[in-house]
Amino acid sequence: MTTSSTNGFTYPTTDEMDNNTAQRLVKECATLIIEDIPMGTEFGIDLNVNNIGDHFMGVKMIAPGLHFIYYSSVSKDGTVGPRSGFFRFFKPQELVVRKWHQFDEDIDEEYTDSVQYQRYKDNVSNGSMDVYLAVYQFSTYADWVGLTDYITDSLFNRINPKSGKILSVTHLITKSGKNLDKNIIEKDSEGLLVMERDPNAVINFSELPKHFLYPQNSSATQVSQHSMDSSYTMETIASRCEQIESLLGELQFSFITFLVGHIFDSFDYWKQLLKILCFSEKSIIKYTDFYLNFIRVLHFQLKQTPHELFADIVENNNFLVVFLRQFFFNIDSNDVNEVLRNRGQRFRKFLTKTFKWDFVSQQEDEEPTIVDIN
């Protein structure tokens, strides 16, 4: 059987698995058990989602590392509810147990029954739980790693919602008055409760400016330059992060939480950050390794995006072509590293062949750059 190595973990590349390989994976990998999850629930891990059958209790052979677990309730008439989920860095041989609660159709963050936990652990070890556990689908594991490999522990801990939950529907709470007494709830002129977004349920991405930044005391000419070249903006944002590669991690986290988590705000963030990275002309010269990795990250993302999704977000509002046209122009018109130039050319050919995008001619409806010199 053919195997490969990704992220330091050796995994099978085919769906066929012999007994020796299966036993090795059980010892090396993690297991997730979810008590009482209803049959028919839409359940997914990473890039694989299915409606679960009877007797399903979880997933085994989960490769060590970051994974996204998500789920949606399904009514008797087949209506699928909003998607919820959570990320977790699984450890080798780790057993994670959670419990489904029918009342709010959600999964607990922690499992408190230590006696039952030990029973599960024993049963996983002796194999008696195997019949109730689905096998992690290694056929998509390499793709998953390619979409998440810059999401480090420190980055994850900074941007993951405090609640630990990824919610496709905005979670609202009643707004407290300016008075320190939290029992005072604000109401509008018609006596209705004033609601606000729950700060604990928000993904804590880096703050991005609405317009490109420029240094204080810049001349009108300098303001114009920084309004076309976002390098100063990029470096300002990167200076607030752990390292410049954190921007790639945020690009990945926003893409995953949009594509798999169904959070539209994440798509908007991905779009904003993508524009800043594509329009950073001076940074392309300065940060060669970063932009080599940026091309790889974006290549993985575009390969995974369904074509029908592009019909909505690209063809009707072709921002990706506009951003990437500028990115390729910045590479071609500057003295950049030759490896970066060649990789950029190959990436452009891939996009032109795959999506039929035109990076040569200018769009007639592209708006001019408007510079605020005040």
Does the pLDDT value for residue 191 go beyond 70? no
pLDDT of 21 reads 79
284: closest CA among 231, 356, 343? 231
Neighbouring-strand partners of residue 10: 5
- Tell whether 372 is covered by a domain: no
pLDDT of 84 reads 95
Top pLDDT among 108 and 162 is at 162
Torsion 266-371-318-357 (CA) sign: negative
165: closest CA among 33, 261, 41, 39? 261
CA-only gyration radius of the chain, Å: 24
178 and 260 together in one domain = no
- Tell whether 159 is covered by a domain: no
Average pLDDT of span 172-187: 58
- Tell whether 160 is covered by a domain: no
177 and 225 together in one domain = no
133 and 173 together in one domain = no
Sort strands 133-135 and 58-62 into parallel, antiparallel or unpaired: parallel
47 and 138 together in one domain = yes
67 and 121 together in one domain = yes
Average pLDDT of span 204-225: 92
142 and 268 together in one domain = no
Average pLDDT of span 282-294: 96
Sort strands 95-101 and 84-90 into parallel, antiparallel or unpaired: unpaired
pLDDT of 24 reads 79
173 and 293 together in one domain = no
**Confidence bin at 179 (pLDDT 50/70/90):** very low
Q: Write down the number of H helices and E strands in the chain.
A: 13, 14
Does the pLDDT value for residue 194 go beyond 70? no
Q: What is the mean pLDDT of the chain?
A: 86
Does the pLDDT value for residue 186 go beyond 70? no
37 and 173 together in one domain = no
- Tell whether 157 is covered by a domain: no
87: closest CA among 78, 96, 75? 96
44 and 121 together in one domain = yes
pLDDT of 180 reads 45
Where residue 112 sits, what CATH number does that domain have? 2.60.34.20
Identify the three-state secondary structure at position 348.
Answer: helix
What does the pLDDT look like over 296-313, one tens digit per residue? 999 999 988 876 665 555
H-helix or E-strand spanning residue 99: strand 95-101
Q: What CA–CA distance (Å, rounded) separates 203 from 195?
A: 19
Instruction: Of 122-136, 151-165, 261-275, 358-372, give the lowest mean pLDDT range.
Output: 358-372
- Tell whether 76 is covered by a domain: yes
Identify the three-state secondary structure at position 14.
Answer: coil
- Tell whether 364 is covered by a domain: no
Does the pLDDT value for residue 374 go beyond 50? no
- Tell whether 156 is covered by a domain: no
What does the pLDDT look like over 314-355, one tens digit per residue? 555 578 888 999 999 999 999 999 999 999 999 999 999 988
299 and 344 together in one domain = yes
The pTM of the full predicted model, rounded to 2 decimals, is 0.88
What does the pLDDT look like over 259-274, one tens digit per residue? 999 999 999 999 999 9
Residue range of the domain that includes 239: 220-355
pLDDT of 313 reads 55
**Chain centroid to CA 363: how far?**
30
- Tell whether 363 is covered by a domain: no
First and final CA of the chain: distance in angstroms?
A: 66
80 and 182 together in one domain = no
pLDDT of 364 reads 43
Domain count, the chain: 3
What does the pLDDT look like over 5-41, one tens digit per residue? 777 777 776 556 777 777 778 778 999 999 999 999 9
12 and 67 together in one domain = yes
Q: What CA–CA distance (Å, rounded) separates 167 from 171?
A: 7
pLDDT of 192 reads 63
Where residue 234 sits, what CATH number does that domain have? 1.25.40.550
Percent of the chain scoring above 90 in pLDDT: 64
